[in-house]
């Protein structure tokens, strides 16, 4: 069981790290000084906003 836990943790940490081909955009640049923005993805719209505790929330 300990090995499984260790493997799960390794997979989680790898998932959080982008590979070298993944573009990185700073949130300050993305938000352009605003607290929220709308992202269109195909026919859908998503709202990205900065919370009072300075976290990002993406909602449909």
- If you classify domain 24-60 with CATH, what class do you get? mainly beta
> For residue 31, how many other CB atoms are within 10 A of its CB?
16
2 CB-side CA count, 13 A: 0
8 A C-beta contact, residue 55 and residue 48: no
Tell me the two tokens of residue 26: 């700073």
Confidence band for 19, pLDDT divided at 50, 70 and 90: confident
Tell me what the mean pLDDT of segment 15-31 comes to: 87
Which residue ranges make up each domain of the chain? 24-60
Percent pLDDT > 70 in the chain is: 73
Measured in degrees and rounded to the nearest 5, phi and psi for residue 4 equal -65, -45
Rg (CA), the chain: 16
pLDDT reading at 58 higher than 70: yes
pLDDT reading at 54 higher than 70: yes
pLDDT at 6: 57
8 A C-beta contact, residue 58 and residue 44: no
pLDDT reading at 15 higher than 80: no
């Amino acid at each position: 069981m300990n090995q499984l836990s260790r493997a799960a943790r390794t997979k989680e940490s790898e998932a959080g790290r982008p590979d070298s081909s993944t573009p990185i955009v700073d949130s300050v640049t993305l938000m352009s000084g605003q607290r929220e923005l709308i992202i269109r993805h195909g026919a859908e719209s998503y709202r990205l906003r900065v919370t009072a505790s300075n976290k990002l929330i993406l909602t449909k």
